[in-house]
Structure 1
């Protein structure tokens, strides 16, 4: 196969900007594998890596790699979503900002890996709590944080951020004056909130990076849309919806704010009780890593994620990349673990090529067993297609 320029054309300018492939490959390794595959056939091309995150799992590592003078701070054991201890950490930036990733302490992967207290008990999605994330924030404030960026994707929880706020000193009690139980189901017993002990937010303010635009309540809300992904059956979803409605009734604020339903309503809770601003996570990280400038001068843009479907275009990394690529007139490709059919990018333009690793590997299981191998293969395939299209 001839390399770039053999037919007289200039080398292509390629931007590779994937999200992590959840559960199998972080964004930086995915980007590198795609680049290795592409460059194996087109070594003269100019390839820029911009691994991304949308506020979910992996945001901390992407931001650490993109900010000079930052450092990861370990805080010791905190409470996981089901109560088991898990290591806590945050990213400290040079200007006093700290970045806390909710998935570190309250992520769905922790619930899946530790298992419920009683495997036969279907109520664990009802009890999952964000308390451990609040413990990390509290420790960051104790150490002098002046501003907080909270990345909230990938949660195991549907507690409206109540656990997080309890860790920060908000007391939630039932009619008898007892602390309510953990999780979204516990909110059904909520009678009163005592904010006298609630720690004040940092002086520099709080931003919540959200990866969805869903409200807190209703058919598009946190319980209805996302709780089933966390193990909730229909009865549990109904219970969590009622718990969140009680939380909103007592807390005030606007439960219909776009993004309020992120992380099981954590975005709503932190915005209502701490005055946080909700910010699209993918766009925030994209700006941080200079994605717009890189895409503006590119010929080819490759993005990707574990599953490409209609939700990919609503606040996720792939949607953020596709919008920029289409606006720049670049040829754009999506590499994913698995893909739904007939997904269209903003403006109605079809994605030129969606390449699923499951198809390359023969099955989703084979692709997940060795994702970097199949990501390299995807890079090779896309480079070959680009060379053919140039001729």
Structure 2
């Protein structure tokens, strides 16, 4: 089996699973309980928080545990918009965000907020000039993802940060679900970023785990009411075994990060080198400094993405049609549409996504299999004529 769908989800690391099972069996008290079992659980919870903060370059009291990227994004955006609504109801995002961001802005728009969605260029990248022109006296929030989940564009977070230094009252959120462990962290997390989101199952942690970073001193409206966990901002008994596992997953992920990212670059480049001169192939995420190392999006002219995905699956190769969150729907990729890619090409796009568990040998096997598929479809599509 070749698994090239790591941006959708990753396999839990065996060492992470060991930690999860150990905590389940030995530290099962409620962290909010006053007895020694509860205290032991609380100490592990805070130890995990401290470890994660140290690894991410934040302070422990800036790390909040959630159920995943969707919750973190919803909380960051809705929580900020609601907290600051008396100061203004204009919020800004890009036109290529993940559904958990894009749909959250749509919901806020239905509640009376004014939303500006920034266009993107042919790389799927927003313009800092467009952002500057969009900001007005009522703007309270800017949310732009660090790495696009469909084609892998790295957004200009550092340049946006420089611009927003001139607007200290505007909160800046970055969806970094696709960015951790790819040797690009300094490009997607700056001192100006007020909030960022992570999802554990994207880096070999248990599903149902996530992180919201909230800069110290920034106010945010709680979306969960209850027992007052997570400093009173996110009620609900913490999923301690999964959180401990997530802390370990991040530590393992960041070990030898440069070498792991370089491997992903090499895998991606091997496939790009094969694809780039093929008639009828359109590559939307070239291997360059503009794109993350682990995502490759391309289209085979005239063949719908889901057809190609299932054809590869017959050879035990697993990919997806751009975002896995939309892959079960008969829709073109939203990022490619925003880039003004032709509808036929957008509906033909598939996404390969790699991680450190993949190999060059798998890339070569993919090329071997795909070449047979390509030759099969070539006469149908009159490729090369």
Q: TM-score higher than 0.5 here?
A: no
Relative contact order, CA 8 A, sep 6+: which one is greater? Answer: 2
Q: In proportion to residue count, which structure has more strand?
A: 1
TM-score (norm 2): 0.28
Q: With the length of structure 1 as denominator, give the TM-score of the two structures.
A: 0.28
